[in-house]
């Protein structure tokens, strides 16, 4: 996960849902890993509804997605917790709900995983999320 740091602002009404994600591409020798959790870092006014692994399958990476306009592969999503990842890149995505009437934000998406030797690691994405009535 990663890339250049940035912020995504998505116009989401109070109690509205959106999907926020990133692509995980493991480096040689790192796979396989098992996902322990996917969460938001320093979230304010945003609740996690579900965490998923979604095949990339030549489609676009999921950064944000409206549930009314799902991307290719969304119907093939699997619960992230306990999912074992190999060398193929996958989307890791959170379905989130804007629960705060004021500023709703998260610093990053965090994936915590365990390697074959039992060591636990985490990786934070480089994109922060802001949910608002209107985005600039």
pLDDT tens track for 26-42: 776 677 899 999 999 99
Give the integer Cα–Cα distance in Å for 31 and 67: 30
- Is the separation of the CB atoms in 134 and 79 below 8 Å? no
The pLDDT value recorded for residue 65 is: 80
- Distances from the Cα of 44 to the Cαs of 40, 74, 78, 97, 129, in angstroms? 9, 26, 26, 11, 10
Give the integer Cα–Cα distance in Å for 85 and 23: 12
Is pLDDT of 44 > 80? yes
In this prediction, residue 58 has a pLDDT band, given cuts at 50, 70 and 90, of low
Is pLDDT of 55 > 80? yes
pLDDT tens track for 75-134: 889 999 999 988 888 889 999 999 988 889 999 999 999 988 899 999 898 899 999 999
The pLDDT value recorded for residue 128 is: 94
Strands (E), 14-100: 17-24, 33-41, 46-55, 64-65, 78-79, 84-85, 90-98
Domain ranges of the chain: 29-126
For the segment 5-28, the average pLDDT, to the nearest whole number, is 87
């Amino acid at each position: 996960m990663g890339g250049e740091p940035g912020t995504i602002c998505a116009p989401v009404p109070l109690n509205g849902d959106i999907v926020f994600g990133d692509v995980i591409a493991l480096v040689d020798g790192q796979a396989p890993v098992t996902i322990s959790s996917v969460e938001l870092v320093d979230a304010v006014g945003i609740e996690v509804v579900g965490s998923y692994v979604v095949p990339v399958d030549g489609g676009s990476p999921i950064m944000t997605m409206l549930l009314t306009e799902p991307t290719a592969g969304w119907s093939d999503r699997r619960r992230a917790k306990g999912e074992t990842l190999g060398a193929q890149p996958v989307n890791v995505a959170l379905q989130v709900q804007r629960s705060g009437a004021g500023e709703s934000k998260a610093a990053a998406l965090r994936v915590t995983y365990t390697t074959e030797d039992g060591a636990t690691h985490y990786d934070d994405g480089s994109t922060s999320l802001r949910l608002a009535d209107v985005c600039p």
